[in-house]
Amino acid sequence: MRDGIACPRCGSTASSVKDSRVTAAGTQRRRRSCVGCGYRYTTHEMLIDKKLVESLSVIKGQCGRTSIELAKLDRIIDEAIKASPGFRRRPVESK
């Protein structure tokens, strides 16, 4: 299955889920196996309520509150995780 999550060892995005369960924190824990090299690794996934994210705002000093720009937030998150080898995000789907 190609799901956008890259193998930490070889970088392949083809993996199969071997085990899946919900953690106490409410995230989905999945044990995956890379189709390319056979390496097993764990991912923790969670759903994000898009309406909640769209309702968030930022206080910018004297300018007051402004709504969060989802494209800018997505770009900032991508920049922040570039240091994490083997992790790739799927693009955010907009309505």
pLDDT class of 95 with cuts at 50, 70, 90: very low
pLDDT of amino acid 57: 81
Per-residue pLDDT at 52 exceeds 80: no
The owner of tokens 């402004």 is: 66
SS3 category, 78: helix
Tell me the C-alpha distance between 80 and 70, whole Å. 15
Measured CA angle at 23 (ends 30, 90), to 5 deg: 45
When pLDDT is averaged across residues 31-54 and rounded to a whole number, the result is 85
The predicted-structure confidence for 74-85, as pLDDT tens digits, reads as follows: 788 777 777 666
Per-residue pLDDT at 93 exceeds 70: no
HSE-up (13 A, CA, CB side) for residue 45: 17
The predicted-structure confidence for 63-74, as pLDDT tens digits, reads as follows: 788 887 778 877
Alpha helices in 35-92 (DSSP H): 50-55, 70-81
